[in-house]
């Protein structure tokens, strides 16, 4: 998670940009030849020109390696790394290792940026000596798109107390934040942020195969060191999500075991850093809220309804999940969330599974 390393300041002597901060944009690439041009063009077309684009070919077996080389040959700002396949975390770590910018931005290779995204973020970061700047984003489906606005009230820099508290917010919601429980998972992405390079030099992404999702743990570690945080008003990042017509698409059989390891790491980190009680409560709430993800994953299980219900009942019987659900305050939840967690507390797995089918079907119609 933490690693040794030296802090390398970005090179300032790029022709025409001597006094501007340099931004390293890190893009892991794997089997995305249909989407890569949109991603790369959105980065090279930024109004802020003092960037280096680091394309990390993670052993892709399609046309992506040649495409990356072609981009590097055509634009001096592009650097290409070819490596054996190691997954998203490994590719991002490799990009950070060679980056020379003052700031870093992660972009997934099937996503894209609005043309003014980096200029807006750097202007705010430089002006306020900020450690991290966030953008809002839009989930892009084949036929629909849905914006997620992270903060109301426009562009601003948060004070030190608000900035420090954001680490807890990444862990999970507490109090009035539970009125919008889904929002917690909007804060913890690695993309949609401009990081000051020294904030991330000592932190590594952990392999998704081990912990199920890499971004949350990474940002908990990074934001524990952040002192000044900023937000650029507007939607600047576009997160591509493909429609999945089949219920069996994307089932992860080891998801619960991976998330158990993730929560062990988060708990250990909070203990090591002497976090206060609100952080542990936030983590408990995060565990409870992630039960919806566990349930929707089971809906995608190719096994039959009875097996899915049995799997859900087994999870709800585990001490970690049972305790988190029991302690969750659902009084501020929207009605559909209250119903889901009431059934979860009662461990009515059959009804819960049926409800998850309804939720999954509603989501498919909404994005279709």
What's the pLDDT at 4? 33
Is residue 233 domain-shared with residue 276, that is, in the same domain? no
- Confidence check: pLDDT of 39 > 70: yes
Residue 311 belongs to what domain range? 255-367
Contact 59, 139 (CB under 8 A): no
In a domain, 148, yes or no: yes
182 secondary structure, DSSP code:
G
Is residue 93 domain-shared with residue 134, that is, in the same domain? yes
Is residue 213 domain-shared with residue 285, that is, in the same domain? no
Q: What predicted TM-score, i.e. pTM, was given to this entire model? A: 0.91
What's the pLDDT at 248? 35
Is residue 186 domain-shared with residue 266, that is, in the same domain? no
Among 191, 214, 240, the domain boundary falls at 240
Is residue 229 domain-shared with residue 327, that is, in the same domain? no
Q: What ranges make up the beta strands (E) of 59-127?
A: 78-83, 103-106, 112-113
Q: What are phi and psi of 98, to 5 degrees?
A: -105, -5
Is residue 160 domain-shared with residue 111, that is, in the same domain? yes
Is residue 295 domain-shared with residue 215, that is, in the same domain? no
Q: What are phi and psi of 58, to 5 degrees?
A: -90, 55
Is residue 48 domain-shared with residue 188, that is, in the same domain? yes
In a domain, 39, yes or no: yes
Is residue 340 domain-shared with residue 235, that is, in the same domain? no
Residue-by-residue DSSP string for 339-368: HHHHHHHHT-HHHHHHHHHHHHHHHHHHH-
Among 240, 273, 293, the domain boundary falls at 240
Contact 222, 132 (CB under 8 A): yes
Question: Residues 236-247: pLDDT tens digits?
Answer: 999 998 734 333
Is residue 146 domain-shared with residue 56, that is, in the same domain? yes
What is the C-alpha to C-alpha distance for residues 226 and 222, in angstroms, rounded to an integer? 7
If one compares 164 and 134, the residue with the highest pLDDT of the two is 134
What's the pLDDT at 9? 34
Q: Considering its fold, how many domains does the chain have in total?
A: 2
Is residue 219 domain-shared with residue 324, that is, in the same domain? no
């Amino acid at each position: 998670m933490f690693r040794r390393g030296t802090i390398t300041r970005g090179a300032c002597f790029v022709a025409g940009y001597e006094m501007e901060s340099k931004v390293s944009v890190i893009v892991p690439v794997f089997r995305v030849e249909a989407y890569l041009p949109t991603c790369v063009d959105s980065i090279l077309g930024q109004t802020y020109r003092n960037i280096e684009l680091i394309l990390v070919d993670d052993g892709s077996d399609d046309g992506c390696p040649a495409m990356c080389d072609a981009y590097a040959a055509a634009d001096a700002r592009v650097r290409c790394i070819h490596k054996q396949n190691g997954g998203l975390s490994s590719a991002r770590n490799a990009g950070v290792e060679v980056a020379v910018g003052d700031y870093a931005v992660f972009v997934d290779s099937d996503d894209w940026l609005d043309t003014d995204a980096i200029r807006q973020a750097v202007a705010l970061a430089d002006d306020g000596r900020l450690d991290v700047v966030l953008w809002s984003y839009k989930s892009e489906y084949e036929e629909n798109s849905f914006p997620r606005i992270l903060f109301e009230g426009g562009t601003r820099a948060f004070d030190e107390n608000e900035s420090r508290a954001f680490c807890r917010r990444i862990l999970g919601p507490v109090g009035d934040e539970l009125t919008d429980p889904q929002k917690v998972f909007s804060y913890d992405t690695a993309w949609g942020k401009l990081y000051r390079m020294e904030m991330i030099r000592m932190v590594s992404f952990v392999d998704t195969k081990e912990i199920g999702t890499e971004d949350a743990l990474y940002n908990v570690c990074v934001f524990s060191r952040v002192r000044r945080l900023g937000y650029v008003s507007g939607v600047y990042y576009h997160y591509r999500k493909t429609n999945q017509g089949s219920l069996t698409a994307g089932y992860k059989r080891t998801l619960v075991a991976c998330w158990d390891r993730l929560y062990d790491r988060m708990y250990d980190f909070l203990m090591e850093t002497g976090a206060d009680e609100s952080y542990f409560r936030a983590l408990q709430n995060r565990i409870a809220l992630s039960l919806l993800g566990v349930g929707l994953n089971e809906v995608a299980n190719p096994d039959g309804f009875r097996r899915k219900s049995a799997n859900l009942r087994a999870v709800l019987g585990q001490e970690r999940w049972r305790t988190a659900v029991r302690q969750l305050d659902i009084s501020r939840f929207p009605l559909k969330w209250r119903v889901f967690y009431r059934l979860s507390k009662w461990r009515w797995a059959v009804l819960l599974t049926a409800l998850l089918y309804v939720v999954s079907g509603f989501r498919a119609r909404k994005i279709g």
